[in-house]
């Protein structure tokens, strides 16, 4: 929690297969009181083991488009052939309650949020090499070759924008990656802009020592 009480929003993107889900899950498991994960809405079909309300809110196209019209989404994007979006209310409530919120979203959505909330931290997560990326995509055994090819084509497009992120984190080891993310967010909390109240308190308490100017 920041000294002003408001949490910090961290947006994590990366190629599909970069291991974002695993890293974010490990971050939340290690620091459960500190972080809150926003659950996205999507029109894609659930994969084996995915639960409504836990991994995603699974919506029909019509339902999703209604959420857009009702301005219920902080951001949304079309990725491959499906819609994905961040429900606004949960994020706003958690930040106001002082929790650091994590969004695990793709690039177009990440830039929409950064534009609306420039104080958010943008982090790009990547596997060490593209060979490793391909290996991870195939290792899931849940996608067809066609889907894998479209995800790699998407990765090639996304790679063009990595330098628009604030930080790049290489995921070659989950624990190391979790600690890197934690350090980046801790560091952000120490920025002067998040500590106005403390700064004013220090200035106020030193007033009496000012020499007549």
When binding is defined by CB under 6 A, the residue of 27, 35, 64, 109 that contacts ligand 5GP is: 109
For ligand 5GP, which stretch binds (CB under 6 A), given 76-84, 117-125, 159-167, 174-182? 76-84
Query: Least Å distance between CB 58 and ligand 5GP?
Result: 11
185 contacts ligand 5GP (rule: CB under 6 A) = no
Q: Which residue has 């659950």 as its token pair?
A: 39
Instruction: Compute the distance between CA of residue 85 and CA of residue 26 in angstroms, rounded to an integer.
Output: 22
Contact status, residue 68 vs residue 61, Cβ threshold 8 Å: no
Query: Least Å distance between CB 136 and ligand 5GP?
Result: 12
77 contacts ligand 5GP (rule: CB under 6 A) = yes
85 contacts ligand 5GP (rule: CB under 6 A) = yes
75 contacts ligand 5GP (rule: CB under 6 A) = yes
Question: What residues contact residue 3 under an 8 Å CB cut-off, 6+ apart?
Answer: 194, 195, 197, 198
Report the residue number, 8 or 103, with the smaller CB distance to ligand 5GP: 103
- At residue 85, the 3 state secondary structure works out as strand
Nearest to 90 by CA among 82, 78, 102, 79: 102
Q: Which residue has 């002003």 as its token pair?
A: 4
Query: Least Å distance between CB 92 and ligand 5GP?
Result: 15
Contact status, residue 190 vs residue 2, Cβ threshold 8 Å: no
Q: How would you class 125 by CB atoms within 10 Å of its CB: exposed for 0-12, middle for 13-18, buried for 19 or more?
A: buried
Report the residue number, 2 or 86, with the smaller CB distance to ligand 5GP: 86
133 contacts ligand 5GP (rule: CB under 6 A) = no
Report the residue number, 37 or 184, with the smaller CB distance to ligand 5GP: 37
Torsion angle of C-alpha atoms 161, 136, 102, 82, degrees rounded to 10? 70
Span 18-37, contacts to ligand 5GP by CB under 6 A: 20
Query: Which residues contact ligand 5GP by CB under 6 A?
Result: 16, 20, 40, 44, 75, 77, 79, 84-86, 104-106, 108-109
């Amino acid at each position: 929690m920041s000294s002003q009480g408001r949490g910090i929003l961290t947006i994590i993107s990366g190629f599909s297969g970069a291991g974002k889900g695993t890293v974010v899950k490990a971050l939340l498991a290690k620091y459960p009181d500190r972080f809150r994960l926003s659950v996205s809405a999507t029109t894609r079909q659930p994969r084996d083991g995915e639960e409504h309300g836990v991994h995603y809110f699974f919506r029909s196209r019509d339902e999703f488009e209604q959420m857009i019209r009702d301005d219920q989404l902080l951001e949304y994007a079309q990725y491959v052939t499906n819609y994905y979006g961040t429900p606004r209310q949960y994020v706003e409530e958690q930040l106001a309650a002082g929790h650091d919120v994590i969004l695990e979203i793709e690039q177009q959505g990440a830039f929409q949020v950064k534009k609306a909330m420039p104080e958010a931290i943008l982090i790009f997560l990547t596997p060490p090499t593209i060979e490793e990326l391909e290996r991870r995509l195939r290792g899931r055994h849940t996608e067809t070759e066609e889907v894998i090819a479209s995800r790699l084509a998407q990765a090639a497009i996304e790679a063009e924008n990595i330098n628009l992120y604030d930080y790049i984190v290489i995921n070659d080891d989950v624990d190391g990656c979790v600690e890197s993310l934690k350090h980046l967010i801790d560091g952000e909390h120490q920025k002067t802009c998040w500590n106005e109240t403390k700064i004013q308190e220090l200035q106020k308490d030193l007033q009496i020592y000012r020499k007549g100017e």
